[in-house]
Structure 1
Amino acid sequence: MSTPFLDDVAVLLPAFNAQHDVERTLASFCERAPVRVLIVDDGSLPPIVAPAVANMTVEVLRMPGNGGIERALQAGIDALAARGIRYAARIDAGDLATPYRLEKQREHMETHPQTAVLGMWTHVVDMEGAPLFDLQPPTGPADIRRVMLMRSCFTHPSLMLRVDAVIGAGNYRAQYRAAEDLDLILRLLQHHDGANLPEFGVYYELNEHGISATRRRTQVWSTLRLQMKYLRATNLPDWIGVAKNVAHLVLPYRALRSLKTRMLGA
């Protein structure tokens, strides 16, 4: 079997005061080809230090201060574009990659040039690594478009993005705080396809101190604004998505997490 080509792929990892989690995340990558990584240090004190990981080249881009994940990701994509990188593979500090994730995603992107955003199924775990539930969203572009406002069709840390398409769509931006991933994906889907590989690519750490918990109301309001912007009046799943987000404004975060765990857990 020939060695896969990953020279035009870079892992994009924004981080803030998370040295240990960064090291743990990067150590989880298992690929047959050398892996390139860009850490965007969003004003950490002390600054993030590039860890030494076998088969991996790690660069740190330091932001002048803590400006938020939206601006960190925007700067990261700009930096990768300037370096001639074609594919950005997202992951967050604390999450773990499954073996050969990058190889599998790049192969799909190469054979599906219309695809600009490619996710994978996700194991959701607690902060000790214990399994909570699995996310297995739709895989095909048509199914994703139909329900894209009703459910989360992508796990952000599992994504591989076509860098030139992201730049063409306007890059990440801070207009929709804490929903920067959905904002970007919805813009990409206006002119490109989105898909998910039907296999698990990441262990996503559900952190009660993460964005989905600490900035929950901001995230929900941003998502509602996006839903109303892209709402298709004749598409019932769009209306269901709006109703679900209104429920998120009413119900406590812990109650929603418990309900999701019971519904999706084994």
Structure 2
Amino acid sequence: MNNIILLIPYYNNSKGLMKSLQSIDQDEELDILIVDDGSINKFEENIATQNFKAKGKIFFEYLHENKGIETALNTGLKISIEKGYKYIARLDCGDICLGKRFAIQKRFLEDNPEIKILGSNVLAVDNNDKFLYSIDLPLNDRDIKNKMYFNSMLIHPAIMFSTEILKTVGLYSLNYKSAEDYAFFFAISKSYKMANISEYLTQIEINENGISLQKRKQQVACRIKIIKENFYFGFYPIYGLIRNYILLILPYRFILFLKKIKK
């Protein structure tokens, strides 16, 4: 049995799922857990298996109704714990792995046992795979935790973490719609060290018609709530609140424009 499991929540995106599975290097050693969140447009298990060429198995879990990504993720975490995996990684349908992502992340975590969650720099493309911008993140624990008050300094589909932290942190909260990852990372930051790798190990798809962007205002509002719950009087929390209140009123197309010209 491999000691890494890749958790992929699925909802009505079979094309994106196959794209993600195809991107995993054939030399990687990991298993995959796909959690179907009550989809209408199902994928075929045999086709998914055929598109996965790495050294591992695919497990499938089906929720009877659509309950949201938080429930799908928590279902996946519980199964991963029960199966005894040492590391849990993440990927979303439509996002792809670059190079030997999982081997690189596993090696880093084992060489740096004080680090319990690890991300990487990320490339962003549109739904036609046209490059939009790169996301360059702080690399060390201190900078990540300080700048978490601005925005998430770990990209959710690019992370790998030690399963042992769930004993302390628990599962994803259901109280922060569209910002469950941000709350999860803040909870981890209170007890464990974090890091990013400077390599671009994941490519994420930015779909302007996607659910995550449709719920952007809800996401920013929840981010503000999380910042307030973790607030102290200092530069990073104060600036982070101001920044996110501004983001709450700005149209996303303008923000995307700024990201493009910056990169």
TM range, smaller chain: over 0.9
Q: Tell me if structure 2 keeps the 8 A contact 1:169–1:187.
A: yes
Distance in 2 (CA, whole Å) between partners of 1:25 and 1:227 is 32
Q: Does 1:177 align with 2:177?
A: yes
CA contact (8 A) 2:122 2:134 kept: yes
C-alpha displacement of 1:130: 1.0
Query: Contact 1:85/1:163 (CA < 8 Å) preserved in 2?
Result: yes
Is the Cα–Cα contact under 8 Å of residues 7 and 34 in structure 2 kept in the other structure?
Answer: yes
Q: Is the 8 A contact 2:26 2:53 kept in 1?
A: no
Query: Are 1:31 and 1:102, in contact at CA under 8 Å, matched by a contact in 2?
Result: no
Matches within 5 A, 1:39-54: 39-50=34-45, 51=48, 52=50, 53-54=52-53
Aligned to 1:250: 249
TM-fit CA distance, 1:49? 2.6
Matched residue of 1:73: which SS? helix
Instruction: Name the counterpart of 1:261.
Output: 260
- Give the equivalent residue in structure 2 for 1:239: 238
Identity rate, percent: 27
Q: Deviations over 1:90-125 (max 9, x none)?
A: 010000101110001011111222222100000011
1:61 aligned residue: 61
* Partners of 1:106 and 1:119 in 2: CA distance: 11
2 CA distance for matches of 1:167 and 1:63?
A: 24
Q: Distance in 1 between matches of 2:29 and 2:163?
A: 19
Where do 1:100-179 residues align within 5 Å? 100-179=100-179
Given that residues 41 and 48 in structure 1 are in contact (C-alpha distance below 8 angstroms), is that contact kept between their aligned partners in structure 2? Answer: no
Q: Which runs of 4+ in 1 moved over 3 A?
A: none
Give the C-alpha shift of residue 151 in structure 1. Answer: 3.2
Indicate how the Cα distance of structure 1 residues 239 and 212 shifts in structure 2: closer, same or farther if over 3 A, else same.
farther
Contact 2:150 2:244 in 1 (8 A): no
Q: Assess, with a 3 A threshold, how the Cα gap between structure 1 residues 154 and 211 changes in structure 2: closer, same or farther.
A: farther
Distance 2:211 2:163 in 1: 24
Q: CA RMSD in A?
A: 1.4
TM-score (normalised: structure 1): 0.93
Instruction: Give the partner amino acid of 2:128.
Output: E
Gaps (5+ residues) in structure 1? 1-5
Distance 2:258 2:212 in 1: 16
> 1:167–1:22: structure 2 CA closer, same or farther, 3 Å change rule?
farther
Count of residue correspondences: 258
Is 2:19 aligned against 1:24?
A: yes
Contact 1:178 1:218 in 2 (8 A): yes
Point out where structure 2 has 5 or more consecutive residues left out of the alignment.
Answer: none
Equivalences for 1:87-102 in 2 at 5 Å? 87-102=87-102
Aligned to 1:227: 227
Does 165-174 or 67-76 show the bigger shift?
A: 165-174
The separation in 2 between residues aligned to 1:137 and 1:131, in whole angstroms, is: 18
| Residue 60 of structure 1, CA deviation | 1.0
Deviation of residue 231 (structure 1)? Answer: 1.4
Post-superposition offset of 1:167: 4.1
Q: Answer whether contact 2:125 2:203 (CA < 8 A) is retained.
A: yes
Displacement of 1:259 after TM fit? Answer: 1.7
Structure 1 residues 239-248 or 145-154, which shifts more?
Answer: 145-154
Distance 1:147 1:34 in 2: 33
- For the 8 Å contact 1:13–1:93, the answer to whether it is kept is yes
TM-score, length basis structure 2: 0.94
User: In terms of mean alpha carbon deviation, does 111-120 or 189-198 score higher?
Assistant: 111-120
The whole-number CA distance in structure 1 between the counterparts of 2:149 and 2:32 is 31
- Could you say which residue in structure 2 is the equivalent of 1:83? 83
The SS at the match of 2:57 is: strand
Are the equivalent residues in 2 in contact too, given 1:31–1:103 (CA < 8 A)?
no
Q: CA deviation at 1:163?
A: 1.6
